Amino acid sequence: MTQAITEEQCRVYEELVQKRSVLLLGAAGTGKSEFIRHVCKNMAGKVAVAAPTAMAAMNLAVGAVTIHSLFQIPPSATGYFDADLFALKSRAAEVLKSINYLVVDEISMVRPDLFDLMENLARRARGSDNFFGGLCLLLVGDFHQLPPVIRSDEFELFRRHYGHSNAFLFDAKSLRDAPLQAFALTKIFRQKSSHFVKILGAVSGGKLCGRMLTEINGRALNGNAPPKESLIITPYRAAAERKNEEELDALPGIIHEYVGRRVGTFRSIADDELPSPERLLLKEGATVVFTCNGAGWVNGSMGTVRRLGKNGVEVLLRGRKKAIPVGSHSWTHVLPNGGECVETGSYGQIPLRLGYAMTVHRTQGKTCDSIVIQRDRRFFAHGQLYVALSRARSLDSIHLSEKISSSDAMADGRVLAYCENLRLGGVAGKPFVHNQ
Ligand SMILES: Nc1ncnc2c1ncn2[C@@H]1O[C@H](COP(=O)(O)OP(=O)(O)OP(=O)(O)O)[C@@H](O)[C@H]1O
Ligand SMILES: [Mg+2]
C-alpha cells in the first residue's frame, strides 16, 4: 500500500494477525482492494488471494487468481449444490494445506453454492472440521455492487437450497454460526466531495430521486460531445464492443492484428475473461487502456497508439509528452505449492484493449478520470448504476448519454436488510434478522 494505513484498516489488520477471520465491507472507493495489497505485502504467513472473476483477480494485481482455479473447481452448468459430488483435486489440496490466509475480493459476486463448496473443500484438504478447515479468511467487498450471476433456469434450485432466487454469499449455509466478524471501512478515498458521496449513497440504497436525480441528470450531454478522453460505460457487452469497433473503423489507417498466446490453465479461460483480447485489433491513433501494471503505467491507464510494430506498439499515455514502447506481457497463473509457487499457465499478449467503451462488469474495482454513462436500454441488475457512477472521482467527471430515471438505481431489498442488520450489530452469517 503506497498510502498510510488508516485506523480502521489497522484494526482489521490486527484481527488477521490474531488469526481471526474477517468480513470486510465498505462502499466503493474505501480502499478495500488497497488494503488487500497491504495484507499481501506485510502479513507474516502464506496468503492466497482469489476473486470470483478473472477480471477482478487481474485488477487486484497481487498474484490473485479466480476462485475456480485456486480450488480447482470445474465449471458447472447446474451449480454446486451438493459439495460431496465434487472431488478435491490434489493440487487444490496442496495449496489449501500450505496457506495460512485466504483472501477473497469482490464477494458480492460470489454465489453461496460456490462458497459452500469452497468451505467443504478447505475442510477436506486440511483434515479439520473447523470452518474452512481452520484457515483464516478475509472476505472483502460491497454487497451494493454487482450481484452473483444466477440464470433464470437456476432460480428454482436456489429457492430450494437457499430460500431465495436472488441468493448472496451471506446465504451460504457454511456461514451460519461461522467465526467471522464483520468490519466496515467508512472513509471514502476515491471521491473527495461529501455531496457526491451522499448522492452515491442514495444510488446504492436504490433511492435516487428528487434533487439528487435532477443533479445527476444535469450531467446529460443533450447531444453535446463528451470530453474527448472519456470512457463510455454501458451495462451491455455487445454495446461496448460495437462502440469500440465503430471508433476503430472511423480511424484512418490500416488495422494491425496481434494474436495472444495461451498456455496451460489459460486455455480454459473464456475469451471475455482474458485481460486483453486474443485477437487484438489496433490502428494508429486508437484510444487504448492498459490491462496490467508496467514500467510507467498501471492497470487502467489510458493512452493513444502512436506507432504499430511487428511485436509491439508505442503508446502516448494521457498527460505525457513522449510515447513509450509496449511489448508483449505475460500473465502467469501461479499456485502456492509447499514452500514455492508453481506456474500452471500463462497468457502472452500486448497488455492493451480498445479503451473507448467498457461494460460495468469490467469496470468493477477501477477508478476513472472521465466517464460517459451510456444507459442503452436500461440498467438491468442491482448495483450496476452504482458501480458505474462510483468509478468517477467527482460529479463533474460524469457525463450521461441520456437521462437516467430513479428506477435505474436498483438496490436489492435483501442486501439492504442484511447491511442494516450488520450496522445494528448483527452477525455476519445471519441474513434474516428482520423476521426474527
Ligand atoms: N489509505 C488510503 N489513502 C489514500 N488513498 C487511498 C487509500 N486507500 C485507497 N486509496 C485510493 O482510493 C482509490 C480507491 O481504492 P480501492 O480501489 O482500493 O477502493 P475499493 O474499496 O476497493 O473500491 P471498489 O469497491 O470500487 O473496488 C484508489 O485510487 C486508491 O489509490
Ligand atoms: Mg476494490
Give tens-digit pLDDT for 243-300.
999 999 999 999 999 999 999 888 877 777 788 999 999 999 999 988 887 788 877 7
d(CA 153, CA 261): 35
Does the beta carbon of 142 lie inside 6 Å of ligand 1? yes
User: Which ligand 1 atom sits closest to the C-alpha of 5?
Assistant: 1
pLDDT of res. 301 = 79
State percent of the chain over pLDDT 90.
70
Q: Which pLDDT band holds residue 430 (cuts at 50, 70, 90)?
A: low
Q: Which pLDDT band holds residue 228 (cuts at 50, 70, 90)?
A: confident
Does the beta carbon of 26 lie inside 6 Å of ligand 1? yes
d(CA 190, CA 69): 31
> Comparing C-alpha atoms, which of 57, 60, 24, 27 is closest to residue 389?
27
Does the beta carbon of 363 lie inside 6 Å of ligand 1? no
> Comparing C-alpha atoms, which of 425, 9, 427, 423 is closest to residue 189?
9
191 C-alpha to ligand 1 centroid (Å): 10
d(CA 350, CA 328): 4
Phi–psi pair at 171, nearest 5 degrees: -85, -10
pLDDT of res. 209 = 92
248 C-alpha to ligand 1 centroid (Å): 32
To test the pocket of ligand 1, the residue of 190, 192, 367, 368 to mutate (highest count of ligand atoms within 8 Å of its CB) is 190
366 C-alpha to ligand 1 centroid (Å): 9
Whole-number average pLDDT of the chain: 90
Q: Is the per-residue pLDDT at 436 higher than 60?
A: no
Pairing assessment for the beta strands 21-26 and 180-185 based on DSSP bridges: parallel
**Do the Cβ atoms of 58 and 64 come closer than 8 Å?**
yes
DSSP 325: E
Close Cβ partners of 170 (under 8 Å, ≥ 6 residues apart):
112, 143, 418, 428, 429, 431
Point out the ligand nearest to the CA of residue 200: 1
User: Which ligand 1 atom sits closest to the C-alpha of 35?
Assistant: 18
Query: Which residue lies with its CA nearest to atom 18 of ligand 1?
Result: 31
pLDDT of res. 336 = 60
Q: Is the per-residue pLDDT at 429 higher than 70?
A: no
pLDDT of res. 333 = 76
363 C-alpha to ligand 1 centroid (Å): 14
State percent of the chain over pLDDT 70.
95
d(CA 27, CA 53): 20
Q: Which pLDDT band holds residue 12 (cuts at 50, 70, 90)?
A: very high
d(CA 431, CA 394): 33
> Comparing C-alpha atoms, which of 294, 286, 368, 279 is closest to residue 331?
294
Q: Which pLDDT band holds residue 4 (cuts at 50, 70, 90)?
A: confident
d(CA 273, CA 69): 13
Q: Is the per-residue pLDDT at 42 higher than 70?
A: yes
Q: What SS3 class is residue 321?
A: coil
pLDDT, mean of residues 336-357:
82
To test the pocket of ligand 1, the residue of 42, 60, 189, 298 to mutate (highest count of ligand atoms within 8 Å of its CB) is 189
DSSP H/E element including 126: helix 112-126
405 C-alpha to ligand 1 centroid (Å): 28
41 C-alpha to ligand 1 centroid (Å): 16
292 C-alpha to ligand 1 centroid (Å): 17
31 C-alpha to ligand 1 centroid (Å): 3
Query: Which residue lies with its CA nearest to atom 30 of ligand 1?
Result: 31
d(CA 426, CA 431): 9
Point out the ligand nearest to the CA of residue 51: 2
Q: In angstroms, what CA-CA distances link 208 with 388, 393, 408, 424? A: 14, 19, 9, 24
Does the beta carbon of 206 lie inside 6 Å of ligand 1? no
**Do the Cβ atoms of 232 and 320 come closer than 8 Å?**
no
DSSP 384: H
pLDDT of res. 61 = 66
End-to-end CA distance of the chain: give it in Å, rounded: 41
Cell numbers representing residue 31 in the block: 480502499
pLDDT of res. 268 = 78
Q: Which pLDDT band holds residue 2 (cuts at 50, 70, 90)?
A: low
DSSP 74: P
User: Which ligand 1 atom sits closest to the C-alpha of 26?
Assistant: 21
Pairing assessment for the beta strands 279-282 and 256-259 based on DSSP bridges: antiparallel
pLDDT of res. 435 = 33
pLDDT of res. 434 = 35
**Do the Cβ atoms of 121 and 156 come closer than 8 Å?**
no
User: Which ligand 1 atom sits closest to the C-alpha of 387?
Assistant: 26
d(CA 131, CA 387): 31
d(CA 182, CA 11): 12
Q: Which pLDDT band holds residue 123 (cuts at 50, 70, 90)?
A: very high
Report pTM.
Answer: 0.87
Does the beta carbon of 37 lie inside 6 Å of ligand 1? no
pLDDT of res. 358 = 92
**Do the Cβ atoms of 390 and 84 come closer than 8 Å?**
no
Q: Is the per-residue pLDDT at 339 higher than 80?
A: no
365 C-alpha to ligand 1 centroid (Å): 9
Q: Facing residues of 141 across strands?
A: 25
* Ion ligand 2 contact residues with beta carbon within 5 A: 32-33, 365
pLDDT, mean of residues 166-183:
94
Query: Which residue lies with its CA nearest to atom 29 of ligand 1?
Result: 190
Does the beta carbon of 365 lie inside 6 Å of ligand 1? yes
Task: Choose between 421 and 349: higher pLDDT.
Answer: 349
pLDDT of res. 341 = 63
pLDDT of res. 116 = 97
**Do the Cβ atoms of 202 and 409 come closer than 8 Å?**
yes
Angle 11-15-17 (CA atoms, 0-180°, nearest 5)? 110
